[in-house]
Amino acid sequence: MIHNYKNQLRPIDTDKIVRGYVDLNNPQEILEMRSKIDEQISKTEERMALGLRLDIANKSQQLQKIYMPIIIKNLKKANRSDLDDMFFGITNIRIKAFEPESIKIIKEYTGSKKNRYLSAIMSRNDPYAAMAKISLDELNKSLNSMPVRHESAPPLAAASAATKARPSAFRTKPWA
């Protein structure tokens, strides 16, 4: 699984290791280790993988451009209302940090899901559908009330600067 800890860590701990790495390292370091990070994420449960990818996407514009299409692709493939609910809720909380390109992808995905969550039959057979519908409605309200932002104003600059300011002694590379 990971370098010297192969026999000590359980597969269930993979998400914690990746989350720690993402939290403690800057976007450039995450990009450098992307293939290893993606390999580890692929071993986690889908809800954990979604949360990790959303956290990574929130680190920088470049990571957002890479991970938002991956997130949407995985959501479409899974076709699960619990994952949709999670995505709609987290995205609604972080909506102001998303770039126009990501907003466009999000709007396309939410548009493709509207009919699914309007169906009363779906709601009776799927306990998460009602929650996903509420989260989708809230996300759509946020998307519709957003002012138009130009590409020249990076919303993640402050977060990236804070990450870069951390002393390098606290950064780890568990896959090195």
Residue ranges of the domains in the chain?
Answer: 11-146
Place 42 in a pLDDT band, splitting at 50, 70 and 90.
very high
Instruction: List, for residues 127-158, the tens digit of each pLDDT value.
Output: 899 899 999 999 999 999 988 665 555 555 54
- pTM as predicted: 0.78
For 165, the token pair is 């300011």
CA 3/CA 1 separation, integer angstroms: 7
CA 143/CA 147 separation, integer angstroms: 9
For 51, the token pair is 């949360």
Task: Assign 3-state DSSP to the chain and report helix, strand, coil percentages, each to 5.
Answer: 75, 0, 25
Q: pLDDT at residue 60 above 70? A: yes
DSSP 147: P
CA 53/CA 72 separation, integer angstroms: 11
Q: pLDDT at residue 7 above 60? A: no
Q: What is the mean pLDDT of residues 26-45?
A: 95
Helical ranges in 58-166 per DSSP H: 61-78, 81-94, 100-118, 120-125, 129-145, 157-164
- Cβ distance 86 to 47 under 8 Å? yes
CA 176/CA 165 separation, integer angstroms: 22
Among candidate residues 145, 95, 88, the one with its CA nearest the CA of residue 111: 88
